[in-house]
Amino acid sequence: MASRPPNRRPTRTLLAVLVTASVAVPVSGAARPAAVPAPAPTAAAPLRNATPAALAERYATTRHDIEAAERTAAAHGDHKRAAALRAMAGRARQFLSFDGRDGGRSTEVYGDLSRARRIAVLVPGSDTGFETYGRFRTGALALQRQLGREADTPTAVVAWLGYATPATVSPEAITTGRADQAAPQLREFIGELSVARPASRVAVLCHSYGSVVCARAAAGLAVADIVFYGSPGTGYDSAAALRTRATVWAGRGAGDWVADVPHTRLRLPFATVGFGVDPVSREFGARVFPAGRGGHSDYLKPGSVSLKNLARIVTGRDTAPSGPLAARAGRAAAEEGRHA
């Protein structure tokens, strides 16, 4: 008589718990705050040209929208949101788009987009919103400064907060739902950017959950490079499965807790949990770049190995060996970080 097959449900449940814990526990986070009322932004035509005059007009219009949202937040009694918006409305800030509704969306430019020949588009991960925008801005500024050191041509960094990022401690952080919603918006923006700056080299730099967004959008992105860093996985088994002509890169700092995330996907009755193959593994097939010894939030830290290599990728310069050697180096770096 054949033996009864083992019951795999406890194993599946355990793995689901491991994925949840690995993503949620190491980084403190809270649920996304309740929606703060905001007026509808000024309707804007697609970004079809990036002349200084056209950009100046767009930045001024968007600034007025941010100021209107700030007044609404203050009247609502949300002083934290109002303070964040007040900073965003500064005269030196350059927002291509802004929408304060439904948690908030924005696209900010660092540098002179009208002249930029190398453009980096930053796609953030979990817990990025207006109240935490300062850290997103700090990273964008650090990258723009590093590009100034690396490039011999004008550059710009675009901080694309074009979707409702999941809270780190939430079911949304371990499923592709938010990424599925965000991917069309990212494709649309990159399409507009390609029309406005057709001769420019564009790279999308995708941090943490942002790598899931970029992977979902990859087949429709007219970019030179797609870069995953601090990624828990992409939801795809290989770089080839992304169906992109872009060079696909992956990097992970030795001190990044995301190395301990189980790289699996579990199809449960209500959702598929987890993001599958490790992007720095040989199996995935990306070009692995050295990311130093930093942690999950350190990739854009001034002076870091990761920042220097991200800037080199944006400028079109090589950074690291590809293939099995680099994959082994990435895994060794992650292992070193776990035991340091």
Q: Is the pLDDT of residue 144 over 70?
A: yes
Average pLDDT value over all residues in the chain: 87
Tell me what pLDDT residue 170 has: 87
Q: For residue 205, give the 3-state DSSP assignment.
A: strand
* Averaged pLDDT, 245-268: 94
User: Quick one: CA dihedral 211, 213, 219, 222, positive or negative?
Assistant: negative
Tell me what pLDDT residue 34 has: 61
Using one digit for the tens of pLDDT, what is the confidence trace for 37-51? 999 999 988 999 899
> pTM of this prediction?
0.86
Tell me what pLDDT residue 33 has: 52
Tell me what pLDDT residue 194 has: 97
| Mean pLDDT lowest among 75-84, 229-238, 288-297, 317-326 | 317-326
Alpha-carbon span 131 to 126, nearest angstrom: 13
Using one digit for the tens of pLDDT, what is the confidence trace for 308-325? 999 999 999 987 443 343
> CB within 8 A of 218, min separation 6: which ones?
226, 242, 243, 244, 246, 248
Tell me what pLDDT residue 219 has: 97
